[in-house]
Amino acid sequence: MADVLALVEARLRMALGEPDARASVTFLGTDRIEVLRFTDGDVVRYATLGMSATPMTDPTAALADPVRGPRAELVLSVRAGRADTDKVLRALAVLAASPQVEGLVVAPGASLDTGEPLWPGAPFTSVLVAEPGGLVEDLELDEPMDPVHFLPLLPMTPNEAAWKRVHGAAALEERWLARGTDLRDPVRGAVGLD
């Protein structure tokens, strides 16, 4: 079996170009998580590297399978120059470590909450996990391993997160689309939820 993280980094570079910065964070009892930054014009993308090293395990499973199970990395895209978004690195590393630390299986439609602003002054404390396959294609791995999905993260205000809990992820995404919400704007306000 090839080194999963080397293949993941190669896929990120193929899709997003060369990273212009990287940082790593290690939490007690977890593997190292890196966050790579890619700049493309007026958009900055942050991608985790390390979450997919081992499969995510259903917390109700009796034993963790070291080979089979969903694998993912997280990708956040924001407009450059409007906020100090580089401070999001630690928050992304915390979210990427959550499968190891909390036994979460991160999947599309899920909400992930950091409990604090994603970056200084950010109106967002949580993210909605969106469907993979748009920006970075899934990475197929040798059998019997599951493919690595690159999951886009969409920042949510606390009101949007509360509304999503009641109405669901699809309804919130429809509301954003109907209102023409720029989900890459790091200082945007909450979408109208009336």
22-32 pLDDT, tens digit per residue, is: 998 887 777 88
Residues 6+ away with beta carbon under 8 Å from 143? none
Counting the structural domains of the chain, the total is 1
Residue 167 lies in a domain: yes
Strands 43-49 and 126-129: unpaired
Residue 183 lies in a domain: no
Q: Residues 32-56: what's their mean pLDDT? A: 94
pLDDT of residue 72 exceeding 70: yes
Asked if residue 193 lies in contact with residue 159, where contact means CB atoms within 8 angstroms, the answer is: yes
> Which residue range is the domain that position 65 belongs to?
4-178
Distance CA 142, CA 160 (A): 39
| Other Cβ atoms closer than 10 A to 91 | 24
82-97 pLDDT, tens digit per residue, is: 889 999 998 999 999 9
Residue 86 lies in a domain: yes
Distance CA 194, CA 189 (A): 14
Q: Against a cut of 0.85, is the pTM above it? A: yes
* pLDDT in the model for residue 79: 96
Residue 189 lies in a domain: no
Burial 134-170 (b: 16+ CB within 10 A, else e): eebeebebeeebbebbbbbbbbbbeebbebbeeeebe
Angle at 161 between CA 155 and CA 167, to 5 degrees: 125
Asked if residue 71 lies in contact with residue 4, where contact means CB atoms within 8 angstroms, the answer is: yes
